[in-house]
Amino acid sequence: MSCCCPHSRSASRFFSFFAGRYRKRFEKKGFEPSQKQLMEGLEQAGYQGLKILEIGSGVGHLHQTLLEQGAKSAVGVDLASKMIDEARLWAKERKLADRTEYVEGDFMEISDSLSNADVTVLDKVVCCYPDADGLVHATLNKTNRIYALTYPRDRWYVHAMMGVVAWVMKIVGSDFRPYVHDPRLIEKWISGAGFEKQYQNQNLVWLSQVYVKVNSLRTGS
Q: What's the CATH number where 104 sits?
A: 3.40.50.150
Task: Record the pTM.
Answer: 0.89
Rounded CA-CA distance 11/7 in Å is 6
Number of domains in the chain: 1
Domain that holds residue 30: 5-215
Q: Where in the chain does DSSP place strands (E)?
A: 51-55, 73-78, 100-104, 117-123, 143-152, 195-202, 206-213
Domain annotation covers residue 203: yes
Domain annotation covers residue 221: no
Classify strands 143-152 and 117-123 as parallel, antiparallel or unpaired: parallel
| Residue 30 Cα distances to 24, 128, 172, 181, angstroms | 9, 22, 30, 27
Domain annotation covers residue 87: yes
Domain annotation covers residue 220: no
Per-residue pLDDT of the chain (221 residues; tens, 9 = 90+): 344 454 555 555 556 555 667 778 888 888 999 999 999 999 999 999 999 999 999 999 999 999 999 999 999 999 888 889 989 999 999 999 999 999 998 898 999 999 999 999 999 999 988 899 999 999 999 999 999 999 999 999 999 999 998 888 788 777 778 899 999 999 999 999 999 999 999 999 999 999 999 986 655 55
